[in-house]
């Protein structure tokens, strides 16, 4: 049995690569999908496709079309979602994707540092499991295949 895992969350660090490499080393049969990780491309994709927009708000609105499209197609193909909250940025998208995953019936692993426990307590309770590190999330993935 093969699983597809969507990696939601911040795109400013290389945590996705870390997961992919470690899971590959463990030979777990997992395909990973996720959002556009090139931040500029993610911000500009609306104007790239639709052309110049009136101002930055409309530019953002244009980009959001294609980011949501991508996320929804890939999230629906997934068996499980891992959402990582990083140290900075607002990350409302991460909370949105995590909540959507729960609503779509996709089991959810939340990765968040201890310092965020208060602000994430309700989302954490809705997740199937909350861990603090990428390595812990990998152990959880591994446990499914044992």
Phi then psi for 86, rounded to 5 degrees?
A: -90, -160
Quick one: which of 12, 26, 39, 49 contacts a copy of itself (CB under 8 A)?
A: 49
Stretch that binds a copy of itself, among 10-18, 22-30, 76-84 (CB under 8 A): 76-84
Choose among 11, 141, 124: nearest CA to 67. 11
What is the C-alpha separation between 112 and 10, in angstroms, rounded?
11
Total interface residues for a copy of itself by CB under 8 A: 76
Among residues 4 and 18, whose Cβ is nearest to a copy of itself?
4
Q: What mask, x for binding a copy of itself by CB under 8 A, covers residues 84 to 123?
A: -x---xxxxxxxxxxxx-xxxx-x-x----x-xxxxxxxx
Q: Contact between 83 and a copy of itself (CB under 8 A)?
A: no
Beta strand 108-112 with 80-85 is parallel
Pick left, alpha or beta for residue 141 (phi over 0 → left; psi -120 to 50 → alpha; otherwise beta): alpha
CB of 25 vs a copy of itself, minimal distance in Å: 18
Among residues 10 and 15, whose Cβ is nearest to a copy of itself?
10
Quick one: which of 28, 79, 86, 134 contacts a copy of itself (CB under 8 A)?
A: 79
CB of 108 vs a copy of itself, minimal distance in Å: 9
Q: Of all residues in the chain, what percent are helix, strand and coil, respectively (each to 5)?
A: 55, 15, 30
């Amino acid at each position: 049995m093969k699983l597809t895992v969507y990696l939601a969350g911040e795109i400013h660090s290389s945590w996705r690569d870390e997961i992919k490499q470690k899971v590959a080393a463990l030979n777990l049969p997992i395909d990973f999908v996720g959002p556009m990780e090139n931040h500029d491309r993610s911000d500009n994709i609306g104007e790239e496709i639709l052309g110049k927009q009136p101002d930055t708000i409309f530019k953002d609105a244009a980009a959001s079309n294609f980011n949501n499209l991508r996320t929804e197609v890939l999230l629906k193909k997934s068996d499980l979602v891992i959402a990582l909250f990083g140290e900075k940025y607002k990350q409302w998208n991460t909370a949105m994707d995590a909540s959507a995953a729960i609503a779509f019936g996709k089991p959810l692993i939340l990765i968040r540092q201890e310092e965020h426990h208060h602000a994430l307590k309700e989302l954490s309770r809705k997740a199937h499991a909350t861990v603090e590190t990428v390595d812990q999330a990998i152990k959880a993935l591994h446990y499914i295949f044992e």
